[in-house]
């Protein structure tokens, strides 16, 4: 294998993250490639695997954004440098609660965003997921 052209942040294997599924994939929570940071979809689960906000889309969005903030900081960026968000909801009725919470974290940032309603996420208790792309200022 050749030398990586990017930095992997918080590497993990899916067999540890999804013990109820037969998966064995090597992934990471974020990747820093040049001055760009790509953050994996974040849900209402902390980095110890504890779900925050069972049945509460706003609380799950708050935990997801807490994760995003931490990952960006570990990559050398911060919330003010987010350029794009993609938000997934399993129910369109969750839009106001989730977007309201995300908006608190992104006040004054003005990223572009995409929002999708999907039939399900990776675990049945997850109500929302958000991934982001950010930059690291030169």
Q: What b/e string do you get for 54-84 counting C-beta neighbours within 10 Å, with b at 16 or more?
A: eeebbbbbbbbbbbbbbbbeebebebebbee
pLDDT in tens, 20-42: 667 777 777 899 999 999 999 99
- Phi and psi at residue 62, in whole multiples of 5°? -60, -45
pLDDT in tens, 43-86: 999 998 899 999 999 999 999 999 999 999 999 999 999 999 99
Share of the chain above pLDDT 90, in %: 75
What is this structure's pTM?
Answer: 0.90
Q: What is the DSSP string of 81-127?
A: GEEEEEEEESSGGGHHHHHHHHHHHTTTT--EEEEEE-S--SSTT--
Evaluate whether 12 touches 27 at the Cβ level (below 8 Å): yes
């Amino acid at each position: 294998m050749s030398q990586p052209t990017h930095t992997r942040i918080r590497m993990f294997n899916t067999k540890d993250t999804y013990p109820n599924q037969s998966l064995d994939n090597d992934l990471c929570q974020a990747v820093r490639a040049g001055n760009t940071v790509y953050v994996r979809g974040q849900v209402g689960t902390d980095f110890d695997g504890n779900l925050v906000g069972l049945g509460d889309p706003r609380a799950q969005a708050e935990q997801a954004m807490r994760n995003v903030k931490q990952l960006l900081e570990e990559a050398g960026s911060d919330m003010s440098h987010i350029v794009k968000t993609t938000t997934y909801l399993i129910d369109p009725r969750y839009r106001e609660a989730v977007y309201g919470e995300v908006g608190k974290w992104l006040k004054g940032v003005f990223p572009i965003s995409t929002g999708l309603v999907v039939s399900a996420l990776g675990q049945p208790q997850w109500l929302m997921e958000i991934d982001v792309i950010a930059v690291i200022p030169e």
